[in-house]
Structure formats: C-alpha cells, structure tokens
Amino acid sequence: MDVTFWRQRWAENAIGFHRDDVNPNLVKHFDVLAVPKGGCVFVPLCGKSQDLLWLAQQAIEVIGVELSEKAVEAFFSENKMTPEVKRFDHMERWHCDNITIYRSDFFALIPELFEHVDAVYDRAALVALPKAMRSDYCRQLNYLIPEPLTALLVSFDYDQEKMDGPPFSVPAYEVRYHFDNIVPITPLSSTDIIAEVPRFAEKGLDAMHEEVYFLGYPTR
C-alpha cells in the first residue's frame, strides 16, 4: 500500500472511509485533550473530513496532512473556502483562516512544521495503514510532535480473517504495543458499530468495535 494506492482510491472516488458528518467520538471526547483557546491540533491523513471544520470552530488552529490533491481541493471547494496555496519542492501548503493542510507524504514531513502543536487527533490514519507500515507511522508521529504526545485515537477491532482493510483492525494489544512505552493509554469507549455500517456486514463481519483512546498524561 503506497502513494499510488491512495491517489487511485481518491481518483476513483472509492472513499467509503469518508464520512459526511463530524465524527461523534471527536465531539464527545475532545475535552480530554485540554487544548487551550488558540492552541493547535494536528490531524494526520485528514482527507476532506468535516472534523477539520469542527475543530476550527473551537477557536483553535488545525493542521492536516493529506497525500491526495483531489481530497485537499475538495475540502476547500466543498466548504466554500478560498485557500492560499504555496508550493515547495516536496509538498504544498493550503491555508485559509485557521486551517492548514499540507499536501504531502506523511513520512516526508519535518518536526519544524509542528513545534506549536498541542494535540493529535487520529481518526483514520493508523487504521488506514497495513500492519507492516503502522510501526513506521507511530515512530514518525512521535518524531514530529513535541513531547509529551497527547492524542485522541479512534481505532477498530474486528475479525480480519473475515474482512481485510482499510480500515484495518488495530486491537487494543497493538495500540499498547505502539504507544505503551511513550505515554499512558486510557480507553475511553468501545462501541459495536456493525449495524451502522452495513457494507461491512455484507463482507461477512458480525461485529465491528470502534475503540477510542486517550494517549497522554492526565489533563485534569
């Protein structure tokens, strides 16, 4: 699974992973991040998610990264925003109001872009990657973000022998494997969403749990 794979998915509009509304887990659990007014949240592999707008409405700065030019263009055009676009050798910076999206390979990013980030919201990045890439993703995330890492992570747990991803199954033991030696991990909720996503039931799943975690030291 490489750059070509994701560009092809967007080119073919094969974006079943995209949702047209704000993820309810973000609304329910955002306060646990304790992001100050005027703070900054980073959303890796952001697509054209409406979560970016919701975060921006909380009077904070939002930084996303997305590989697909089609996805970035769609985000700004569908939300009637006119971004300023700056092009560099290996990426582009799309910016409007308090939202910035870097059109770039996530693994090509540098820490200097994220020095003022207060928290990470990963709702579709870790689960978008096959197992062979997930350790590299977590190392890169920890490399980019100022210590200590603070994050809201949305994952899935299902029988991957019945269905392959993306989104992939990343159960609790794997979340612990990636982050236990970095920060504390606090499970926040676990919900079987199979009734809400019939396309996964049609592929043979009888259960699909959406797991939400707070990664970081207590904020209260």
pLDDT at 10: 47
Alpha helices by DSSP H, listed for 13-107, are 24-29, 51-56, 69-78
Residue-averaged pLDDT of the chain: 91
Provide the pairing of β-strand 185-192 with 209-215.
Answer: antiparallel
> What is the tens place of the pLDDT at every residue in 177-197?
999 999 999 999 999 999 988
pLDDT at 18: 43
DSSP 160: T
* Mean pLDDT calculated for residue range 86-104: 95
> What top-level class would CATH report for the domain 3-215?
alpha beta
Alpha helices by DSSP H, listed for 64-105, are 69-78
> What is the tens place of the pLDDT at every residue in 131-180?
999 999 999 999 999 999 999 999 999 999 998 888 999 999 999 999 99
63 vs 39: CA distance, rounded Å: 11
* Mean pLDDT calculated for residue range 54-63: 97
Both structure tokens of 124: 């579709």
Q: Kindly give, in sequence order, each residue whose CB lies less than 8 Å from that of residue 146, ignoring residues fewer than 6 positions away.
A: 111, 114, 115, 117
- Determine if the pTM surpasses 0.95: no
Examine the pLDDT at 5 and tell me if it is beyond 80: no
pLDDT at 56: 97
Q: How confident is the model at residue 1 (pLDDT cuts 50, 70, 90)?
A: very low
pLDDT at 3: 57
52 vs 23: CA distance, rounded Å: 10
* Mean pLDDT calculated for residue range 6-33: 73
Upstream peptide bond of 44 is cis (omega within 30 degrees of 0): no
